Amino acid sequence: MNLSLAFATIRVAALVLCSALGCGQGRAADGSYPDHPVTIVVPAGAGSGPDATARRIAAAVGRTLGQPVLVDNRAGAAGIPGTEFAVHAPPDGYTLYLGTNAAVCINPALYRRLPYDPARDLVPISMATRGAPLLLVAPGLPVHTLAEFVAHAKAHPGQLGYASSGNGSTSQLAMELLKHEAGIELLHVPYKEEARAIGDVIGGQVQATIAFGAVAVAQVEAGRLRALAVAGPRRNPLLPQVPTAAEQGLPGFSVPGWIGFFAPAGTPHAVLQRLEQAFVAAETAADYAGWVHSLGSEAVGSTAREFADELRVDCPRWAAIVHDAGVHVD
């Protein structure tokens, strides 16, 4: 393991221990929490997937806490400004943070200089949602399985292009992992927006991409794209006919994503416990689980300890993917 990955692993281990023991340095909860509205900082725009998740959870959590829970969208720059704002908020339980694997695990490995360290500056509350992306190809590409795609790429090295939502994006890193695991060469075609990337695959200008969520599923169901594999441990409930990469002999091609909630480090342990109870109740409710299922993902509702355990595995793994792909953003 190289030195940067070793430090990443140590930082995540410290996060796990601190979460388990309750290392809050803020003032002790006096039993009145919360006595005014709570805000969830979402480092993504209104109408995005993370925003929709935050708003559904916020309403339910607010009912449990007896105070309004508001959503503060702070989009842009790969979520860095929004994350910085959240981690530097007072650790009193009134400013929380919605994080994703991209912001919490990938960015620290991708950016050489960040104004924060998620493993040091955030403590987990609960993972809300987990999902896996789909490997998608243009309908005109003469492949119908992952094995056929790999064989086609090997027969045309460097000639197949894959679209991503930008340098350092989850979609680029996932495809770079596929290249590594399958021993193939693909041409990276970065876009500024996922919608344009998917549109050009539909149009045949680019041959493949990888994407999460209901948008990808809708394009497959409409016949505009062909799904070859789920890059995760389980099949997509909306496309049960599409096998996972592991089922097709490529278990290393697995890049499940998640959405979860955090508080600034130093938040009192009693406040964290109150928040954990409220978030787990919201995330395990039947209406939320049904909504997440309708998007092709899985409602989780993990405890803080369970979430921290997943971070201990997930963050070093993403750091390794970034390192192996040789991708860095200054």
**How do 208-211 and 257-264 pair as beta strands?**
unpaired
CB distance 228 to 242 below 8 Å: yes
Residue 283 has pLDDT above 60, yes or no: yes
pLDDT recorded at residue 187: 96
How many residues are given for the chain? 330
> What pLDDT is recorded for position 330?
67
- pLDDT for the residue 215: 83
How far apart CA 63 and CA 303 sit, in angstroms, is: 19
CA-wise closest residue to 225 among 240, 215, 233: 215
Strands 134-137 and 208-211, how do they pair? antiparallel
Mean of pLDDT over the chain: 90
The residues of the chain that CATH labels 3.40.190.10 are 134-248
Which part of the chain is CATH 3.40.190.150? 3-131+257-325
Examine the pLDDT at 20 and tell me if it is beyond 50: no
CA proximity to 60, closest of 292, 224, 243, 246? 292
Q: Please state the pTM of the whole predicted model.
A: 0.87
Residue 69, Cβ neighbours under 10 Å: how many?
23
Bridge partners, 164 (sequence order): 190
Cα radius of gyration rounded to whole Å, the chain? 20
Q: In this model, does residue 177 exceed pLDDT 50? A: yes
pLDDT digits (tens, 9 = 90+) for 208-223: 999 988 889 999 999 9
| Residue whose structure tokens are 């492949």 | 143
What is the band of 30 on the pLDDT scale with cuts at 50, 70, 90? low
* Strand pairing class (69-73; 38-42): parallel
Binning pLDDT at 50, 70 and 90, where does residue 19 land? Answer: very low
**Which CATH number does the domain 134-248 belong to among 3.40.190.10, 3.40.50.300, 3.40.50.10800, 3.40.640.10?**
3.40.190.10
Q: pLDDT confidence of 6, banded at 50, 70, 90? A: very low
Ordered alpha helix ranges (H), the chain: 3-21, 49-65, 80-87, 101, 107-110, 118-121, 146-155, 170-182, 194-202, 213-221, 269-283, 286-294, 304-325
Residues 122-144: tens digit of each pLDDT: 999 999 999 999 999 999 999 99
> Cα 97 from chain centroid?
14
pLDDT band at 23 (very low <50, low <70, confident <90, very high): very low
Q: Which pLDDT belongs to residue 267?
A: 98
pLDDT tens-place string over residues 104-122: 999 999 998 899 999 999 9
Compute the distance between CA of residue 98 and CA of residue 95 in angstroms, rounded to an integer. 10
Whether CATH 3.40.190.150 fits 3-131+257-325: yes
Sequence-separated (6 or more) residues with CB below 8 Å from residue 190:
163, 164, 165, 166, 167, 169, 172
Q: What is the pLDDT of residue 300?
A: 97
**pLDDT band per the 50, 70, 90 thresholds, residue 16:** very low
